[in-house]
């Protein structure tokens, strides 16, 4: 800043301190607010009017001096039109003085180097009047001649009014930030919903092309061949390996094409999740500073961690659960086969032993004993074969129950994965931002109501 040291009589005779404040000075705003008269000098042809300076327009003794270059008077009109478009509330308060610096400099040079001839005096007066400085000098003269208490009252009034206006401007800026955040929330929600429908439809179409019932029927045919290869007469020789054989065939034959399809789509969902995390973090960095809270950032980073990641089995676990269910059914089948074999061998040995005892004690002849012993073995064998078919039917009933509702479980797994893993980061960002907007908007509404009350009582306080 610097004090003006001009020897022009029209400025020297003011009973006032004239202080020049460059806008680059860090403390120029407080000094401007404490001034009685403020002259804002702008050169729109070089640089637009500063928004900070425009906040001073509410002061009744603030004037905007627009300098325009030679032969370019339209710049004043363009400047006023631009101000009216960007700050329509300032137009009724603003007082503009156009100044022609070239004419003012010409008048100063004429006054400094010319002799006091009639032509030089006429040239000075003509340039001085055309420069536009005279109305400013007269306005300053009328203001500085005002009593001190009037100026003090005006300055106090302007400070209070300016403070309220600054608060209102902050509220307007906040509401602008809220609109920005709400627009981002709306765009993010629409994008999330679009991606949800798109990927759920793609997975559903992929499963529809596979036709899960057809895949289950193919698995059933393969398992039928496996069970048919296990004849009843082979059971005593392979009873210990029966569970391992059946479980191995179930793992290889139970809807392998469905598992492959689901693992493929799990990889696509993983890629989508990483894309959404990147986009959400990018949107977070573009939020207004007032909404970039550490709580929101930590929440997003927490839900972006590997604990909520997507593995290859995230969708196929529905099929894995059915395989596990069938394995439990195989365990029951194995136990029932063991019981049937024990019953068969126990009954066969019992009937043979009873026939032998009857022959030994000479209750029946030898041929009758052989007949009764063989009959007992045949009866127990018939009973064993019948039990084997019943056990198979029960196991096939478990197989059919496992196949029912598989598509429903896969769709539920897809929806759960989309909600809790794929879309969780943007959905959590939307939730936290909506809560923040609601909370802060309520606080600002209360502040705005208090400002309105202050505005209503301000005229009585100032007068």
Task: Please indicate, yes or no, whether residues 10 and 100 belong to a single structural domain of this protein.
Answer: yes
296 & 345 share domain: yes
| pLDDT score recorded for residue 69 | 66
The pLDDT value given to residue 25: 60
Q: 140 and 205 share a domain? A: no
User: Are 249 and 223 contacting, i.e. CB atoms less than 8 angstroms apart?
Assistant: yes
Alpha-carbon torsion angle 43, 44, 48, 49, nearest 10:
60
Boundary (domain end) residue, out of 123, 146, 169: 146
- Both 202 and 100 in one domain: the answer is no
User: Is 459 part of a structural domain of the chain?
Assistant: no
394-416: buried (b, 16+ CB within 10 Å) or exposed (e) per residue?
Answer: ebeebbeebbeebbeebbebbee
Q: How far apart are CA 377 and CA 383, in angstroms?
A: 10
| Total number of domains constituting the chain | 2
Can you tell me the distance from the alpha carbon of 26 to that of 22, in angstroms, rounded to the nearest whole number? Answer: 9
Given 146, 167, 193, the domain boundary residue is: 146
Return the pLDDT at 1.
38
Q: Is residue 155 part of a domain?
A: no
Two tokens, residue 199: 């990927």
- Residue 437, class by beta-carbon neighbours within 10 Å (0-12 exposed, 13-18 middle, 19+ buried)? middle
Specify the pairing of strand 38-42 against strand 19-20: unpaired
Provide the token pair at 376. 């007992």
Q: Which of 146, 162, 195 is the last residue of a domain?
A: 146
Residues 290 and 378 in one domain: yes
Shared domain check, 190 and 99 = no
206 and 112 in a single domain? The answer is: no
Asked whether residue 104 falls in the same domain as residue 36, the answer is: yes
C-alpha distances in Å from residue 351, one per residue of 80, 313, 341, 450 = 118, 54, 15, 103
Long-range contacts of 400-403 (CB under 8 A, 24+ apart): 402/322, 402/325, 402/326, 402/329, 403/213, 403/216, 403/220, 403/322
What angle do the packed helices 424-462 and 256-285 form, to 10 degrees? 20
Residue 53 covered by a domain: yes
Q: Is residue 14 part of a domain?
A: yes
Model confidence, pTM: 0.61
In a domain, 379, yes or no: yes
In a domain, 421, yes or no: yes
What tens digit of pLDDT does each residue of 45-94 get? 656 666 556 666 656 677 777 776 666 666 666 776 676 666 666 666 67
Residue 94's domain is classified under what CATH number? 3.40.50
Distance CA 19, CA 180 (A): 41
Structure tokens at 215: 């895949």
Task: Classify residue 64: in a domain, yes or no.
Answer: yes
Expressed as residue numbers, the domain containing 12 is 2-146
Q: What is the pLDDT of residue 5?
A: 43
Tokens representing residue 364 in the block = 């029946």
Which residues, other chains included, contact 100 with Cβ-Cβ below 8 Å and sequence gap of 6+? 67, 68, 70, 130, 131, 132
* Residue 1 near residue 20, CB atoms below 8 Å: yes
DSSP 42-56: E-TTTSPPPHHHHTT
Query: Which residues contact residue 376 at a Cβ distance below 8 angstroms, ignoring those fewer than 6 apart?
Result: 347, 348, 350, 351, 352, 354, 355
Positions in the chain whose pLDDT score sits under 70: 1-34, 44-60, 68-77, 80-81, 83-93, 111, 114-116, 144-155, 158, 206-210, 355-356, 358-360, 362, 366, 369, 459-463
Q: In this predicted structure, what is the pLDDT of residue 28?
A: 64
Q: Residues 90, 185: one domain?
A: no
- Based on the domain organization, do 229 and 132 belong to the same domain? no
Q: Are residues 109 and 258 in the same domain?
A: no
Q: Give the span between the Cα atoms of 4 and 22, in whole angstroms.
A: 12
Burial label for 306, CB within 10 Å (0-12, 13-18, 19+), is exposed
- CA distances in angstroms from 398 to 141, 319, 322, 391, 395, listed in the order given: 104, 15, 10, 11, 5
In this structure, the answer to whether residues 216 and 110 fall within a common structural domain is no
- Find the Cα–Cα–Cα–Cα dihedral 424, 429, 434, 440, rounded to 10°: 150
**157 lies in a domain?**
no
């Amino acid at each position: 800043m610097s004090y003006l040291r001009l020897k022009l009589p029209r400025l020297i005779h003011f009973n006032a301190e004239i202080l020049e404040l460059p806008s680059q000075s860090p403390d120029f705003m407080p000094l401007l607010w404490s001034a009685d008269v403020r002259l804002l000098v702008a050169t729109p042809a070089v640089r637009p009017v500063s928004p900070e300076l425009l906040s001073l327009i509410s002061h009744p003794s603030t004037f905007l001096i627009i300098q325009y270059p030679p032969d370019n008077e339209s710049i004043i009109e363009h400047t006023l039109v631009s101000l009216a478009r960007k700050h329509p509330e300032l137009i009724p308060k603003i007082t503009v003085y156009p100044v022609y610096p070239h004419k003012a400099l010409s008048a100063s040079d004429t006054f400094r180097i010319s002799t006091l001839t009639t032509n030089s005096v006429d040239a000075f007066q003509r340039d001085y009047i055309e420069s536009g400085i005279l109305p400013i000098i007269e306005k300053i003269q009328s203001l500085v001649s005002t009593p001190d208490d009037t100026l003090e009252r005006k300055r106090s009034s302007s400070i209070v009014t300016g403070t309220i206006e600054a608060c209102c401007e902050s509220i307007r800026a906040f509401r602008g930030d809220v609109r920005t955040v709400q627009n981002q929330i709306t765009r993010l929600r629409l994008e999330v919903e679009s991606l949800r429908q798109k990927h759920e439809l793609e997975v559903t179409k992929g499963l529809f092309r596979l036709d899960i019932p057809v895949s289950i029927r193919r698995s059933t045919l393969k398992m039928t061949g496996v069970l048919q290869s296990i004849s009843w007469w082979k059971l005593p020789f392979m009873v210990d390996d029966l569970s391992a054989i059946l479980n191995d065939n179930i793992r290889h034959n139970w809807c392998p094409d469905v598992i492959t399809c689901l693992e493929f789509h799990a990889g696509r969902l993983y890629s989508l999740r990483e894309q959404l995390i990147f986009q959400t973090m990018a949107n977070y960095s573009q939020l207004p500073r007032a909404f970039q809270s550490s709580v929101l950032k930590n929440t997003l980073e927490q839900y972006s961690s590997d604990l909520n990641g997507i593995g290859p089995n995230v969708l196929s676990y529905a099929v894995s659960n059915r395989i596990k269910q069938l394995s439990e059914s195989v365990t029951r089948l194995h136990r029932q086969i063991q019981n049937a074999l024990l019953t068969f061998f126990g009954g066969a040995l019992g009937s043979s032993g009873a026939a032998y005892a009857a022959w030994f004690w000479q209750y029946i002849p030898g041929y009758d004993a052989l007949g009764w012993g063989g009959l007992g073995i045949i009866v127990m064998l018939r009973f064993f074969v019948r039990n084997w078919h019943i056990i198979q039917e029960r196991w096939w009933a478990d197989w059919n129950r496992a196949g029912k509702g598989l598509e429903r479980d896969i769709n539920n797994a897809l929806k759960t994965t989309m909600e809790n893993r794929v879309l969780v980061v943007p959905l959590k960002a939307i939730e936290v931002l909506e809560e923040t907007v609601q909370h802060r908007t309520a606080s600002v509404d209360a502040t705005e109501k208090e400002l309105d009350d202050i505005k209503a009582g301000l005229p009585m306080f100032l007068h």
